[in-house]
Amino acid sequence: MRFYEDNLALGALSAVRRGISVICSAGNDGPAHTTVVNGAPWILTVGASITDRSLRGTTVLGNNVELNGESVFQLDSPPLPPQLRLLYPGMNGDFAASFCDAESLNDTSIVKGNIVLCRIESTRSRRTEQGQRVKDAGGAAMILMNMDYQGFTTSADVYAIPATNVNYEDGLTILSYLNLTSTPTATIEFKGTIFSDRKTPTVANFSARGPNYESQGILKPNLVASNNTRSNHFKMISGTSVSCPHLNGVAALIKSSHPDWSPAAIKSAIMTSADVMDRENHPIMDEEHFLADFFVIGAGHVNPARASDPALIYDIAPDEYIPYLCGLNYTSREVSKILLRRAHCSAVPIIHKGQLNYPSFAIRLGSPSQTFTRTVTNVVGKIICYERKFVEAS
């Protein structure tokens, strides 16, 4: 969707012109690439990462293998029996049954009192429905196995029955155990909140990815922030729509320290101070524990403590978006619609999309040699100009 057709982007630029920072979610259509939304350059676009704590629900198989998952259902007393018979309705290759549909659970005499393995459905409401179906069939507990595209991302959901969500790899371990054991058993041990996961942050599987379809010269998402899949006193929510408010708070803190900074300066400060390493000082990983590239994390994971003192900022005045938009072949009428005032492309020097004074660079591999110029401003107002040249890559 072109920027001028997107009412959110149109309204966002109007807000930026009034000095208001606009922060939006990258979207929840990951992990496929080119799924990022809210790609206008005047918007700070935020993806979702996993926090360093989890609500632990550990699956203990009959062979004593322990597999850590997540669940809001934290059973204090009485605990589940040491071992229950483990069932998997999809053992015969029935795809619908693997999701524990109602028909697969019809024989309540088999399900009753046992623990059931189900492949996870996509949405939170459907996942909680799975738990209700197992409960209605008399099941004592449920293990939800991720799909392969979800990687190591797990979710802490509220279930009507003792349950836990395990990642895809651990789900394969359970399936292997089922195939090799004549009388498979399992139980779930609920261990409360576990803190200080050293491998975080990692990117959530649903966090939308670039490149930015609307303008590939603008890197999106801009960065990632914590996605709160954990417990609070009221309800459970997760997604990039939850990571987004974290950045609103960071932007407000920066504005309180630097009231004269523009929205572009605040965005620049957040991006250039972001972390690209996890708590173990290793590069941030994606949901499959592969290196998260720039189309996944943008500039990195937000670091609020550093964002108020970024040393240098890349600033953009609202009117500087006019030559950028004209360079994208928008008509004067379309640009006027975005700006909510008259603009004439013939009256401005049109610039290449990569020439916007943006705190990142993007160039298609195999492109001819190009030169991009940026103007950076330090915290005491001294202007430094320099050129950075990108040569052809293969």
Structure confidence at residue 335 (pLDDT) = 86
Order the strands of the 223-227 sheet from edge to edge: 23-25, 44-50, 223-227
Q: Are residues 102 and 130 in contact, defined by beta-carbon separation less than 8 angstroms?
A: no
Structure confidence at residue 194 (pLDDT) = 77
Closest CA to 275 of 223, 227, 228, 312: 223
Query: Which tens digit of pLDDT belongs to each residue from 130-139?
Result: 889 999 999 9
Query: Which tens digit of pLDDT belongs to each residue from 73-116?
Result: 776 666 788 899 999 998 888 888 899 988 888 877 789 999 99
Structure confidence at residue 390 (pLDDT) = 45
Instruction: Give the CATH class of 3-51+201-390.
Output: alpha beta
Structure confidence at residue 389 (pLDDT) = 46
CA distance 86 to 252: 51
The set of residues, in sequence order, having a beta carbon less than 8 Å from that of 327 and lying 6+ positions away, is 350, 351, 352, 353, 355
Fold classification of 54-194 (topology level): Glucose Oxidase; domain 1 (3.50.30)
Structure confidence at residue 227 (pLDDT) = 65
Three-state SS for 324?
A: helix
Residue 4 has pLDDT above 90, yes or no: no
Average pLDDT, the chain: 83
For residue 288, the Cα-to-chain-centroid distance in whole angstroms is 13
Query: Which tens digit of pLDDT belongs to each residue from 179-212?
Result: 999 999 999 998 887 776 677 888 888 899 999 8
For residue 200, the Cα-to-chain-centroid distance in whole angstroms is 13
Structure confidence at residue 358 (pLDDT) = 92
Structure confidence at residue 283 (pLDDT) = 92
More confident residue, 16 or 85: 85
Residue 37 has pLDDT above 70, yes or no: yes
Q: DSSP letters along 66-93, please?
A: EEEEE-S----SSPPPS-EEEE-TTTTS
CA distance 271 to 49: 15
Query: Which tens digit of pLDDT belongs to each residue from 62-78?
Result: 999 999 998 887 766 66
Residue ranges per structural domain of the chain: 3-51+201-390, 54-194
Categorize the per-residue pLDDT at 162 as very low, low, confident or very high, splitting at 50, 70 and 90: very high
pTM: 0.79
Structure confidence at residue 234 (pLDDT) = 37
What share of residues in the chain are helix, strand, coil (percent, to 5)?
30, 20, 50
